[in-house]
Chain A
Amino acid sequence: MRYMRIWGRLATMSFAIQTGHPLSSFGYLLGKLVRLSFFLLFLAAIFKHTSALAGYSLEEAALFFLTFNIVDILAQLFFRGIYGIRGLIREGDFDYFLIQPLNVLYRVSFNTVDFLDVLTILPVFMITFYILKRMPGGLAWKPLLWYTLLMVNGLLIAFAIHIVVASLAVLTQELENTIWIYRDLMTLGRFPSDIYDSPMRALLTFVIPVAVMVSFPAKAYLGRLTGAWIGQAVVMAGVSLALSLKFWQFATRRYTSVSS
């Protein structure tokens, strides 16, 4: 399909640029892996002093943390271009996107593909599978299916958030830092959402759905998520995606009416 080929081209070009800065790329890669390892080390150390965190065992807590990483890295992998949208507008690249026969949102999202994300996600997947195998009952297929489903669901919500941020950038051309608010709030998902008190948990489920994106998949695997919640999560994804796309259309329409 044409869109796949274009993604391939953009990814190749981004990769070519990254290989032009090997030291920096290596530093970032190592940094991300170090951060991952340190946190896992931290969790392991914590569980030397205790047997449970908010009712979860070490493996279960680790699953939450790893799920957070998977969602976070995959979201970055797919939607990284949006982080640079303000630059694209400022430099005039966005104007070129508007006059080319290609979906503008698609182009903006995939304009940069960070190959390092591919390299970081591989060890995360491996460690996750290892952890799942270590659980009582081992790696079970039905729970894994729910896990994947809710993860994809979470990614759709993440996509919706990115679209909203991109739309804001197009509208105001000032709010470039909004995406970092999202990134920071995501880190609240490093731990199981049960550690938060009710008001906080409500916030993280309904307002900034970090819990839905990150905790739900892990909970579904562990069988701690009811069907009602799953349904709610899916509805959330659908609604947020639809609304965000409408917002994007509004923003581009406004951009083409207002900018000089």
Chain B
Amino acid sequence: MRKYWFVFSIYWQEGLSQRASFFMERFRALVVLVSFYYFWSALLKDRTSFAGYNYSQMITYVLGMNILRGLVFASRTYEIAGEINHGRLSGYLLKPVNFCLYTFFRDLSEKSINLVSAIIEVSGLALLFHLKIQWPHQATSWLLFLLAITGATVLYFFLSFIVGCWGFWTAESGGPRFLLELILEFTAGAFFPLDVLPRAFQDILKLFPSPYLVFFPLHVFLEKLNTAQIINGFLMEGFWILALGGLAWLVWDKGVSAYGAEGS
């Protein structure tokens, strides 16, 4: 197990040394944050609530969105396709290392750097604009929130891992990946809270894994759910983790045998 923590630490160092692209990513996140802050402030200027959110809640959502994007969506699984297509995967397969665990810890280092940065950004913005964040009133909410985001992190990892494995079957996974990530971002509530959408849309979306990446955890944080909804949410999240985990395992298995057969 120690070797995976080592993986975590070297990618942390590497991440820091890749300053330019790191700052670019954070800059992008900051710009999204700033534009949505102004957007919602303009909308809620003359009213007390919008789609069931008061100003404080909406701001908390927007800030939380930024943090969760950093934690859940930051990933390096796109490298997997490249590793497969350029034959570098062989190196991993030959070593006594579980590639899935390896990539997970690589991702964790990426996520933690982004998380730290996101927290700094959000705190900075909150101080600058004197924003009132709505914190959870109960300790259990914190616990449930942490549980939800852990689940979200694992869930997204499985999803992006599967997408990375597309490299086994095509050298052109870049475009489809872009498409999928965009759909995921929107349907996860990572641009706006899903309850602004019509009821029908929401109900359909709740059947898919994406709302559990950002929307559900933030609702737990904002304590907008009753017990039944919380239980239901966790059940769905759990279901998707198992389903996607299983699918990831299956895809990986099939992929590796296809890879070996080609003898790159």
Contact = CB atoms under 8 A, between A and B. Distances in A.
B170 interface: yes
A145 B34 CA distance: 33
A30 B183 CA distance: 10
A187 B24 contact: no
Interface of A: 21-31, 34-35, 38, 41-42, 45-46, 48-50, 53-54, 176-177, 180-181, 184-185, 187-188, 190-191, 194-197, 200
B38 A26 contact: no
Interface in B169-184: 170, 172-179, 182-183
Given A24-B174, A31-B182, A180-B24, A188 B43 contact: no
Contacts of A180: 24, 28
Interface in B214-251: none
Task: Give chain B's interface secondary structure class.
Answer: helix
Interface string B179-218: 1001100100001100011100100000000000000000
B32 interface: yes
Interface of B: 20-21, 23-24, 27-28, 31-32, 34-35, 38-39, 41-43, 47, 50-51, 170, 172-179, 182-183, 186, 191-192, 196-198, 201
Contacts of A38: 182, 186, 191
A219 to B, nearest CB: 16
A23 B170 contact: yes
5 contacts: A23-B172, A27-B174, A50-B43, A53-B43, A194-B42
A28 B38 contact: no
Given A31-B182, A184-B31, A45 B39 contact: no
Given A50-B50, A190-B35, A35 B175 contact: no
Given A27-B176, A28-B175, A177-B23, 6 more contacts: A21-B172, A24-B176, A31-B182, A177-B21, A187-B31, A197-B38
A181 B179 contact: no
A42 B27 contact: no
Contact of A184 (B28, B39, B173, B201): B28
A157 to B, nearest CB: 19
Contacts of A195: 38-39, 41-42
Contacts of A176: 20
A187 B196 contact: no
B200 to A, nearest CB: 11
Contacts of A27: 172, 174-179
B172 A188 contact: no
Contacts of B178: 27-28, 31
B41 A31 contact: no
A187 B170 contact: no
Contact of A191 (B35, B51, B174, B176): B35
